[in-house]
Structure 1
């Protein structure tokens, strides 16, 4: 795990400083590009900027890299715009948090264009290169994150957005700011912890927005959870928490998906285990004892299993097994 950082000032100096003379702007852009490519560029190449941007480059920025995550903060007195051919694949997730101005992804009026305005954030999977542009006086934080960690949470939408003043976003911003202050002094374990925390905080932002914005996915989510539970019924670790983790959703979202159909995760798991135990009781050979069934299907003990079974089927497991024997015999002699 590596970490590095760079600060570059455009001709305006500190954020909010005075604009410089236009003839210094190209030199400022060259310094910015050189610093980026030296310190950050490996794995995070700069796009091609428009000629108007490089001629009037009044931007203050700072950036750092922590493993496969890059963090950039910038303020542009001037507008920033990219241009030129877009080729190749860009499998990344980017998060934009805009404090002032606006940041637009995609060419104006192009399909899939998105604008992040002041006070908003956007997390988006970037599957192919996109142009972007900002308006003058834009202040924003941009994080480049590993796609494998975030895309499962985004689902088919491939992006989530919302207010930048939510608790989760504020915590993420504060953590990324602290990385700037400490990264040069961190040892390998500290860098790893800073990286992992950044990823988990980004996940929390994505989960929160998906939970709030995707109630229409509830039936599909509930069915996916049921299918997964059915394949792990004998697993002692099976629970709502385990299912949520495997499906990359929050426990709250999973519970809401089941509640939409008038069910609960715990009740579904217990019902399916009782159904499997009932089938085992009527098996023609190799039948397990009541205590063995209770242990196999993860009931606390035989008493709990018997009570649950009787409540569900109206008879104890032993009574049910005895009643099933004549029925099998009649079925075997009929014809």
Structure 2
């Protein structure tokens, strides 16, 4: 398999006239004919204002779309492929059908759909749709899917892990070594199998980077919450605290240290950008009191919060 960099990003939101041509050219050059593109409707071709990010890791393709304009496939034959596809929608919707005029399943915002698709289904996206599609080889999923489709909410632990890993793959794909590409691909497959089963093996060390990244993504959303802790993150991700700690240890850090570091950094930015007092900032970022915050801040940055605020005011 080809291990050279295979990813691209494209923003056609301001160049609608050439957007689809640019997208098709980049797709052909970086992703390839193994994952054929559908034919789009005339209206979509005329007003193609979408932002894409795509990455190929061996026989898996990950695509993220952030649309301004609507998009719809054209009527006609669909390319014959043997793939499993997972659609996940953040906002908007992804309507799927065997014909352009039919809607057999709509993936709504906050939901996902996983199924074996013999070809690219016809689909339509309303304006402002943000979604991700992962295309995988069918063979590894024969026992897990067994002819069925799996749908559900996107906030389950296994879907969170999958999306965290997919984002990481899209971002670092050009820098991955051949061994890194293989590992990224295998982890994507394992995580999608976990979605099919509705659970994952939390002692699988291969999943440690994805688990740590999912925990970090969740922590970033909850930094100002009083109940943010290793225990809370482990509970939300449906793993034991010990498993989560082991996942962070692979990268040489601890969960508690990561939370403390991110809160300190957020507090540092607030000292420069807001008119809150040191005590108010300490309380907002869940430090026990102003003295505790000052000591932790000085250990990290070499200045007290007051000194830092005066220097950067």
Alignment TM class, shorter chain as reference: 0.5 to 0.7
Equivalent in 150, 153, 160 of residue 163 of structure 1: 153
CA distance in 2, matches of 1:122, 1:188: 30
Aligned residue for 2:69, secondary structure, equals coil
Root mean square deviation of aligned Cα: 1.9
Equivalent in 42, 66, 87 of residue 75 of structure 1: 66
Aligned-pair CA distance for 1:30: 1.0
Listed as ranges, the gaps of 5+ residues in structure 2 are 200-313
Contact 1:93-1:151 within 8 A present in 2 as well: no
CA distance in 2, matches of 1:116, 1:165: 14
Matched, 1:181 2:181: no
Aligned residue for 2:147, secondary structure, equals helix
Q: How many equivalent pairs are there?
A: 197
CA distance in 1, matches of 2:171, 2:119: 32
Aligned-pair CA distance for 1:140: 0.3
Equivalent in 131, 138, 148 of residue 140 of structure 1: 131
Contact 2:36-2:79 within 8 A present in 1 as well: no
Matched, 1:4 2:6: yes
Contact 2:75-2:100 within 8 A present in 1 as well: no
* Superimposed CA distance per residue, residues 170-200 of structure 1 (whole angstroms, 9 cap, x where no aligned partner): 1000001111222222211111111101100
Aligned residue for 2:179, secondary structure, equals helix
Contact 1:104-1:114 within 8 A present in 2 as well: yes
Please show how residues 222-237 of structure 1 align to structure 2 within 5 Å: none
Q: Closer, same or farther in 2 for the Cα pair 1:108/1:188, shift >3 Å? A: closer
Q: Closer, same or farther in 2 for the Cα pair 1:44/1:156, shift >3 Å? A: closer
* Superimposed CA distance per residue, residues 277-323 of structure 1 (whole angstroms, 9 cap, x where no aligned partner): xxxxxxxxxxxxxxxxxxxxxxxxxxxxxxxxxxxxxxxxxxxxxxx
Contact 2:100-2:123 within 8 A present in 1 as well: no
Aligned-pair CA distance for 1:109: 6.4
CA distance in 2, matches of 1:35, 1:204: 31
Matched, 1:153 2:144: yes
Matched, 1:127 2:118: yes
Contact 1:92-1:127 within 8 A present in 2 as well: yes
Aligned-pair CA distance for 1:108: 6.3
Aligned residue for 2:52, secondary structure, equals strand
Aligned residue for 1:62, secondary structure, equals strand
Q: TM-score, normalised by structure 1?
A: 0.56
Matched, 1:172 2:156: no
Aligned-pair CA distance for 1:32: 1.1
CA distance in 2, matches of 1:118, 1:156: 25
Aligned-pair CA distance for 1:87: 4.7
Listed as ranges, the gaps of 5+ residues in structure 1 are 13-19, 210-335
Q: Closer, same or farther in 2 for the Cα pair 1:87/1:97, shift >3 Å? A: closer
CA distance in 2, matches of 1:75, 1:129: 20
Equivalent in 39, 44, 53 of residue 53 of structure 1: 44
In structure 2, the partner of 1:190 is 180
